């Protein structure tokens, strides 16, 4: 009598306050139902498809010469530039992206749906197109760049600042979407409670909303940072590929692949390590579901 | 030792206000709340007049969806008025944004800021009003102490029990020294046992509060225990207001009659007989003329399976049992028929009568048990 056994087990569980998951697991075991092949085979192929390239990278890595390759001046230069630019791009995204997310989540205005669509566009836009668009806007003859050049003597393309701009353009939507989602999930009545206590809207945002959505902001910032670190298309289009100035890790990898494949693998390993570290950092937020 | 009123310990602030008040306004009737709240939203229209003197506790009582919470939000400035006015201590406040109104709110689920300790939650208001960090914290500590929460000052809201969280929320609202304190279903989030205790505490704190307090509830017991005056709101309008005892004795709508557990009818009185608008006549003790309400408690109804012969009650109606439910240690019979009414009887009596839905019964009520009053 499996049924009555299950039932009494469940009753005992309830009495002891244990989670009921155990019963579910027992039920599955008792049924002994396998995974259907039409699902299992593609699933395993999919798994291999994602993992084999990474394994290949590790297998083909020139482990012996790795220390020399990684300590070369070019690698350090590219790595440092990548980290600095990605971090700066994330900072820029935070400063202007969080208020933008707040605006989208909390203020009703005509055309809000359109604005949200425009904000998300860089998410799906090919980065190269983003780079070209940035050139049209901020290049020497761009609609804004011309004015920046003539009025302030500021030139943005093909500079380190240009790298930061290109990366921020591509990465900020990740932050905005993530923060807006968190804001929408957060109870707006906390802001009302703050208002009844005498807080202006800005004070309520700073002292109540911001701390409440801090985890969402952190997650969004990590996403944006990771995206900025790997940014290639917009960077090479808008900022070019000058070692020490605009040559970030992805550009260095690409360039090295043509001349020195071993160096490319070594550089790739560094980026892989950084990615794994980011994933570990996000583990609490997204991996606990498993 | 007398318990100091909350105003006393804030003597400086209070006397300032008092001095200013005597300079500007001579008319003491300006003190307190004088509001006519009109909020239109789609097909719903809230139109409620509300007046209260300092020290008074008013309960807005009504069924869900009656507009009580909308009224409360309008008072706090969280929902804009589409019409009417709001005067607080003689000052027009209908255009004042919520952060500038001298209004404190205790929300239904308290909305304590989860990232701040109890102390910092209470200090939030004074801080926003311009107090220094140390000053705000000192004031917050004082409030927590007054509400018996001194040892929980460092606790985050999630570590507080329901009753404690409620008191922190009250302390947080009071720490801004509001001239109008609003409480939205202050006891709804508590379990039955805590509720009893917290209700008594809240009653004491509200009695000590020197300005106007308005609370919103759908629980008649909360309203009657906590408030000096009830304002019953149904469908966006005030249907009755007055002292709790008065409303309990003389309900004017079915909703209130049900709340206070009375059968209520409306009819035309001619001496001791009241011809009901729908249904038979009822004989009453009071001799009245014109439109009246007649009320009697379900416990005064006697049920019979066969038409009683030796009963002197002239109020005798043929009914049918529409439903039965336990009501404490009693059974509440819902009767349909000549006169729809509720009757209370003991479990034993119900068994003896073999009551079941659909059973035909005779219901009798003595004239002395009824209460008639003019509309």
Which of residues B19 and B33 earns the better pLDDT score? B33
The alpha carbon of residue B187 is apart from the nearest alpha carbon of chain A, in Å, by 18
More confident residue, B336 or A47: A47
Q: How many domains does chain B divide into? A: 2
Regarding whether B98 and B20 lie in a shared domain, the answer is: yes
User: Does a structural domain hold residue A197?
Assistant: yes
Is position B341 within any domain? yes
Closest CB to B176: pick one of A189, A198, A201. A198
Interface of B with A (CB under 8 A): 76-78, 97-101, 103-105, 107, 111, 113-115, 124-125, 128-129, 172-173, 176
Residues in A touching B172 (Cβ below 8 Å)? 197
Has residue B91 been placed in a domain?
Answer: yes
Same domain? B93 vs B199: yes
Nearest-CB residue to A190 (from B97, B111, B125): B111
Q: Are residues B200 and B328 in the same domain?
A: no
CB contact under 8 A, B99 and A193: no
pLDDT at res. B313: 58
Q: Are residues B196 and B324 both part of a single domain?
A: no
ipTM topping 0.90: no
Q: Torsion angle of alpha carbons B281, B286, B288, B290, nearest 10°?
A: -40
Q: Supply the pLDDT for residue B28.
A: 55
In a domain, A173, yes or no: yes
Task: Tell whether pTM > 0.80.
Answer: no
User: B15-19, B26-30, B165-169: which has the highest mean pLDDT?
Assistant: B165-169
The string of pLDDT tens digits covering residues B352-372 is 888 888 889 999 888 888 888
Indicate whether B87 and B182 sit together in one domain: yes
Q: How far is A194 from chain B (nearest CA, A)?
A: 8
- Please determine, for residue B4, whether its predicted confidence score (pLDDT) is greater than 70: no
CB contact under 8 A, A195 and B125: no
Share of chain B above pLDDT 70, in %: 91
Residue B134 counted as domain residue = no
- Nearest C-alpha in A relative to B178: A197
Tell me if residue A18 falls in helix, strand or coil. Answer: coil
**Looking at per-residue confidence, does B27 or B86 come out higher?**
B86
* Residue B273 CA: distances (Å) to CA of B162, B250, B266, B367, B369: 52, 18, 12, 10, 14
The enclosing domain of B341 has a CATH number of 2.40.50.100
- Token output for B231: 């304002």
The CATH number that applies at residue A252 is 1.10.3720.10
Q: Note whether B4 and B205 are within 8 A (CB).
A: no
Domain with B331, as residue range(s), is 299-367
Residue B167 lies in a domain: no
Low pLDDT (below 50) residues in chain A:
1-31, 287-290
Q: Characterise B231 by phi-psi region: left (phi > 0), alpha (psi -120 to 50), beta (else).
A: beta
Contact B113 A192 (CB under 8 A): no
Cβ contacts of B100 on chain A, cutoff 8 Å: 198
Residue of A nearest to B173 (CA): A197
| Residue B19: per-residue pLDDT | 41
Whether residues B128 and A193 touch (CB distance < 8 A) is answered with no
In A, minimum Cα distance to B76 occurs at A196
> E strand or H helix at A246, and its extent?
none
Residue A256 lies in a domain: yes
For residue A160, being part of any structural domain is answered with yes
Residues of A engaging B, defined by a Cβ cutoff of 8 Å: 187, 189-190, 192-201, 203, 207-208, 211-212
| Neighbour tally for B169: CB within 10 Å | 28
d(CA A26, CA A254): 52
- Distance, CA of A130 to CA of A136 (rounded, Å): 10
Same-domain check for residues B249 and B306:
no
Q: Which domain covers residue A80, as residue numbers? A: 71-284
Q: B86: burial class by Cβ within 10 Å (0-12, 13-18, 19+)?
A: buried
Q: Six-digit token pair at B326? A: 């336990």
């Amino acid at each position: 009598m499996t049924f009555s056994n299950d039932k009494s087990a469940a009753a005992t569980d309830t009495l002891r306050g244990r989670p009921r998951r155990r019963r579910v697991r027992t039920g599955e075991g008792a049924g002994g139902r396998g995974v259907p092949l039409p699902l299992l085979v593609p699933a395993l192929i999919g798994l291999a498809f994602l993992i084999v390239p990474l394994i290949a990278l590790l297998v083909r890595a020139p482990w012996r010469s790795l220390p020399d390759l990684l300590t070369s001046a070019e690698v350090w230069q590219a790595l440092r530039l990548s980290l600095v630019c990605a971090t700066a791009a994330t900072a820029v995204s935070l400063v202007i992206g969080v208020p933008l997310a707040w605006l989208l989540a909390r203020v009703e205005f005509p055309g809000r749906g359109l604005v949200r669509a425009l904000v998300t566009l860089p998410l799906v836009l090919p980065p190269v197109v983003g780079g070209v668009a940035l050139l049209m806007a901020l290049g020497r003859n761009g609609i804004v760049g011309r004015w920046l050049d003539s009025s302030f003597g500021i030139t943005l393309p093909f500079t380190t600042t240009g790298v930061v701009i290109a990366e921020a353009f591509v990465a900020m939507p990740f932050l905005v979407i993530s923060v807006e989602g968190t804001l929408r999930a957060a109870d707006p009545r906390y802001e009302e409670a703050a208002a009844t206590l005498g807080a202006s809207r800005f004070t309520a945002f700073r002292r109540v909303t911001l701390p409440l959505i801090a985890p969402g902001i952190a997650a969004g910032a990590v996403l944006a940072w990771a995206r900025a670190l790997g940014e290639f298309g917009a960077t090479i289009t808008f900022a070019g590929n000058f070692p020490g100035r605009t040559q970030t890790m992805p550009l260095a990898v690409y360039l090295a692949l043509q001349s020195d494949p071993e160096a490319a693998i070594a550089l790739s390993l560094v980026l892989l390590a950084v990615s794994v570290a980011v994933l570990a950092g996000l583990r609490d937020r997204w991996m606990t579901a498993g | 030792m007398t318990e100091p009123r909350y105003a006393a310990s804030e003597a400086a602030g209070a006397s300032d206000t008092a001095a200013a008040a005597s300079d500007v306004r001579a008319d003491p009737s300006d003190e307190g709340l004088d509001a006519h709240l009109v909020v239109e939203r789609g097909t719903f229209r809230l139109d409620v007049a509300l007046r209260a003197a300092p020290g008074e506790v008013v309960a807005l009582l009504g069924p869900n969806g009656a507009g009580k919470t909308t009224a409360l939000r309008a008072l706090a400035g969280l929902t804009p008025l589409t019409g009417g006015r709001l005067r607080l201590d003689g000052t027009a406040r209908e255009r004042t944004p919520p952060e500038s109104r001298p209004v404190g709110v205790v929300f239904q689920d308290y909305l304590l800021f989860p990232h701040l300790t109890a102390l910092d939650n209470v200090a939030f208001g004074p801080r926003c009003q311009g107090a220094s960090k140390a000053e705000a914290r000192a004031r917050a500590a004082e409030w927590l102490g007054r509400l018996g929460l001194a040892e929980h000052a460092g606790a985050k809201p999630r570590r507080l029990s329901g009753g404690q969280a409620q008191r922190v929320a009250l302390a947080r609202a009071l720490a801004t020294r509001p001239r109008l304190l609003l409480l939205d279903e202050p006891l709804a989030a508590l379990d039955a046992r805590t509720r009893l205790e917290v209700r008594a505490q809240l009653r004491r704190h509200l009695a000590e509060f020197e300005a106007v307090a308005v609370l919103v509830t759908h629980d008649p017991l909360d309203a009657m225990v906590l408030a000096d005056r009830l304002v019953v709101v149904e469908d966006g309008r005030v249907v009755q207001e007055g002292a709790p005892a008065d409303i309990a004795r003389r309900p004017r709508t079915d909703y209130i009659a049900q709340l206070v557990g009375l059968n209520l009818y409306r009819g035309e009185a001619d001496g001791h007989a009241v011809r009901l608008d729908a249904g038979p006549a009822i004989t009453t003790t009071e001799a009245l003329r014109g439109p009246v309400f007649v009320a009697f408690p379900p416990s005064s109804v006697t049920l019979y399976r066969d038409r009683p012969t030796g009963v002197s009650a002239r109020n005798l109606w043929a009914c049918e049992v529409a439903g039965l439910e336990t009501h404490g240690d009693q059974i509440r019979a819902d009767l349909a028929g000549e006169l729809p009414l509720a009757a209370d009887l003991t479990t034993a009596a119900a068994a003896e009568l073999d009551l079941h839905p659909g059973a035909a019964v005779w219901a009798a009520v003595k004239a002395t048990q009824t209460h008639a009053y003019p509309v």
